[in-house]
A and B are shown apart, each in its own frame.
Chain A
């Protein structure tokens, strides 16, 4: 039942954009139909997950499939269910948002294409999550990867967008190449392409390590683990905002899903894997947020925060892996529980932030943080949505981000009590690192919210901004509600998380109840309520005092200067400057400053930027070198399709002979 409903949802989502292709591209009717189908498909998918949670596990569905070695084998388990929810939920809200944000009447040249690939992206992701055969998994994976490419390059008339698209395409193909190797090696050990757990002792340590490392690179590229994140910032910035929301909130989580799934298949992970994953998580988390602080582009900044949050998720996964190596169920439960919950949480608040950013970009037509300002007065709803997203992503109570970070903190502190001494103390250092990440995130979001929404408008466009339409505000408000709900009543999610944990580590029984005993989620609810009550009391006191005393209004105190302009406000770049300098060793900020000023200085300018160090200083030079090295290979590239067909024919002949 659950699998059938989900498959039906996937089918409808995949085809949702198709009827629209045959309708007028300058009218809204096609887009409305596409949205309706997408909502229907996502709704059916969510109903399928609901069925799974209420009724329980069902039989896998196996259909005949003519692809050699493959079978169409789909099934639902706790892990699939957890990853399916954000896929369908964000897809649903994103397509509704698109009705106001990317009106087909305003974008006749690419509106239909966007609708088509939004549906196939959803379908591809959902398919790979329920696939139980690696060929089928790769099938879904490639549908997802290519749809995302077409979505990123929606506005392909702009060079910046095309560049972002190409970098993404290269990265995703490298990832797929690694996955071919992973599944090839798995087949060698298992004898089939089925995704079933390997028996203990069926893998040599070298083979297991090879599979693990390849999976870490392949899935890490998709997830955007630092330093494999090179494609992520520009792709997220270039795409339309509801596409950025689903890419950042959901698509990169498919890398996490892959890592979680593959590590669940491998028996007895050695301690080094968990430690390496944890270390990667710390690096991603700290450097992700450090790079975010240096950005001037609103959406690029949010993209770097995805790298940070992936880092937090990976830290949880690392803790769970360490727990499996040392047979500590409590670390598995807290680490994986925190990681899986953060997958949800990040999907919710990052989608919320991208949709709010889209709401801003939609009216001011710029992503430059330092050109904005004072938007909270003209777009109050968007401002509130952004604050909620910002508080949630900083991991602050009483919202959802706090819950998952809390679980990971408790797990990390818990490793202190293992009595194994110094050899193991390094793991606990991840807790202060997480504190550093949290504090940096607060700094970054104060900067963004302050520069974009507070103060006064820094440009004409920001001055004449207006609030977005309800079709954009409703999906944002729905995400606000989800963030608050999870933050205040996390106990609601415990059964789902428990099933996910048990699916990953079958020998951990009753993970749900154990999670509640390990981490006092009931107390979190109580404290959330108390916090709201105290806030209301303090707010009430202030309100009463203001009612009963004289309140005057005047200009901001400028320390005696009488003619301030909005350009004299503290900009986002000035706000971030100290932190950027502190992390200068990694960010390598570039500044262009005027030379020595003469006695009567002429008009001059100053600008600074934080480019992506890994992309600019490592990947691009390496690729240029590679391109030079392989330039002789061009003689095979004739630009003639008949010749290419000949190559394929020759390759097939060669393979047949080799067989």
Chain B
């Protein structure tokens, strides 16, 4: 019974909270810029509006253009079930679920990037090329971090790797975990099209990554893309939260609120990071991602030395 309630809260929270993260990031950036900014719930209003709007489809497009948003949303929606949010348990957990998580996100990437190419626009082609290129460097960084956690926990399930035993490991192998935290934060920024990798608010199509891929989508399909992106941001933020603050008081009345506060705090940190940095030139992006890989790799070497 308890598990059932736990899982229900997990699913409800994971499906409803993500747009709020976008709202908080936006608000933080606005405050830094000295503006009031849009309301915190603006992303929800946007989604509702988009789902009610009509759409325009390019005449060059095929079924792939519709499949992109659908697969992107479905895969992100599925991955939120793998992440342990509190107390080291997740609704779905089995040996090797971390691999399925990474590959589901890759499946989403395959279809969203292909949908971008379906339009025949060179701008969207550019965006798709950048997206898949940077993912090639982000993926090893993610896996190197997972190596550290697997070595520490002796488990091959995300629930075990990011479980409650992590708190004790911070005391013994804090340096390694800090390096992974740094690496995964960079991966979070890269995978979710944040500054310094990509500026969601930029005006010039030539410099965009994620936003330019979805230029031609409109209406409900665009809403699905935005919601899928929010879910993906939630997955990576939750990974960071569990890694950085693996607290478990034992009482669900405390654990859930702590988690919500923590994930919102990470959103604020993302907002601060975005406000205090400039977007990198595209040719420098791979360098930062390689640094993320090396950071995790050093963490692993610290562990096994």
Interface of A toward B, CB cutoff 8 Å: 373-374, 376-377, 380, 383, 387, 390-391, 394-397, 402, 405-406, 409-410, 413-414, 416-417, 421-422, 425, 428-429, 431-436, 438-440, 442-443, 445-447, 449-451, 454-456, 518-520, 523-524, 527, 530-531, 534-535, 537-539, 541-542, 545-546, 549-559, 566, 568-570, 574-579, 582
Contact = CB atoms under 8 A, between A and B. Distances in A.
Contacts of B73: 538
B266 interface: no
A486 to B, nearest CB: 16
B129 A575 contact: yes
Contacts of A433: 140
Interface string B88-123: 000010111101101110110110011001111111
A397 B114 contact: no
15 contacts: A374-B60, A376-B63, A383-B62, A391-B110, A394-B106, A396-B106, A432-B139, A436-B140, A447-B132, A454-B118, A455-B119, A524-B100, A550-B54, A559-B121, A570-B124
B126 A553 contact: no
Q: Which one of B60, B144, B215, B300 has the highest number of Cβ atoms from chain A below 10 Å of its Cβ?
A: B60
B125 interface: yes
Given A442-B106, A553-B56, A546 B139 contact: no
A438 B103 contact: yes
B127 to A, nearest CB: 9
B256 interface: no
A376 B74 CA distance: 23
A542 B74 contact: no
Given A450-B125, A551-B54, A439 B106 contact: yes
B106 A455 contact: no
A531 B122 contact: no
Contacts of B107: 391, 396-397
Nearest to A567: B122
Nearest to A458: B120
B147 interface: yes
B8 interface: no
Q: Which one of A373, A439, A520 has the highest number of Cβ atoms from chain B below 10 Å of its Cβ?
A: A439
Nearest to A422: B304
A573 to B, nearest CB: 11
Contact of A410 (B74, B133, B156): B156
B136 A443 contact: yes
Contacts of A552: 54-57
Contacts of B133: 443, 578-579, 582
Interface string B139-170: 11011101100110010100000000000000
Contact of A428 (B100, B147, B220): B147
B286 interface: yes
B92 A555 contact: no
Interface stretch (B36-44, B64-72, B257-265, B270-278): B64-72
B58 A554 contact: yes
Given A421-B304, A439-B135, A450-B118, 16 more contacts: A394-B106, A396-B106, A410-B95, A431-B143, A518-B95, A520-B94, A534-B77, A550-B55, A552-B57, A555-B60, A556-B58, A557-B119, A557-B215, A570-B117, A570-B126, A582-B133
A556 B140 contact: no
A455 B96 contact: no
Given A542-B220, A551-B54, A519 B96 contact: yes
Given A391-B110, A527-B92, A554-B56, A455 B120 contact: yes
The 7 closest A-B pairs by CB, nearest first: A570-B125, A450-B117, A550-B54, A455-B120, A545-B220, A443-B132, A425-B304
A445 B110 contact: yes
Nearest to B219: A549
Contacts of B100: 397, 406, 524, 527
A555 B117 contact: no
Interface of B: 51-64, 66-67, 69-71, 73-75, 77-78, 92, 94-97, 99-100, 102-104, 106-107, 109-110, 113-114, 117-126, 128-130, 132-133, 135-136, 138-140, 142-144, 146-147, 150-151, 154, 156, 205, 215-216, 219-221, 224, 286, 293, 297, 300-301, 304-305
A534 B74 contact: yes
Contacts of A436: 136, 139-140
A184 B60 CA distance: 62
A450 B140 contact: no
A396 B106 CA distance: 7
B74 A569 contact: no
A330 to B, nearest CB: 12
Contact of A559 (B109, B123, B135): B123
Contacts of B136: 436, 439-440, 443, 579, 582
Given A414-B156, A431-B143, A578-B130, A555 B95 contact: no
Contact of A422 (B117, B123, B146, B305): B305
A444 B219 CA distance: 30
B139 A539 contact: no
Given A531-B78, A559-B123, A542 B69 contact: yes
Nearest to A397: B103
Contact of B70 (A442, A447, A542, A549): A542
B281 to A, nearest CB: 13
A378 B30 CA distance: 49
A383 to B, nearest CB: 8
Given A431-B147, A552-B56, A570-B126, A454 B51 contact: no
Given A416-B150, A431-B147, A553-B57, A569 B122 contact: yes
A439 B191 CA distance: 13
Given A402-B103, A549-B219, A575 B125 contact: yes
Contact of B219 (A446, A545, A579): A545
B128 A575 contact: yes
A432 B60 contact: no
B287 to A, nearest CB: 10
A454 B215 CA distance: 16
A550 B95 CA distance: 46
A51 B121 CA distance: 55
Given A394-B106, A442-B135, A559-B123, A449 B95 contact: no
Given A396-B107, A569-B125, A376 B62 contact: yes
Q: Which one of A425, A549, A556, A569 has the highest number of Cβ atoms from chain B below 10 Å of its Cβ?
A: A556
Contacts of B151: 416-417, 428
A595 to B, nearest CB: 24
B96 A406 contact: yes
A126 to B, nearest CB: 34
Nearest to A522: B94
Contacts of B103: 395-397, 402, 438
A538 B224 contact: yes
Contacts of B154: 416-417
Contacts of B128: 446, 450, 570, 575
Contacts of A402: 103
Nearest to A566: B120
A389 B294 CA distance: 33
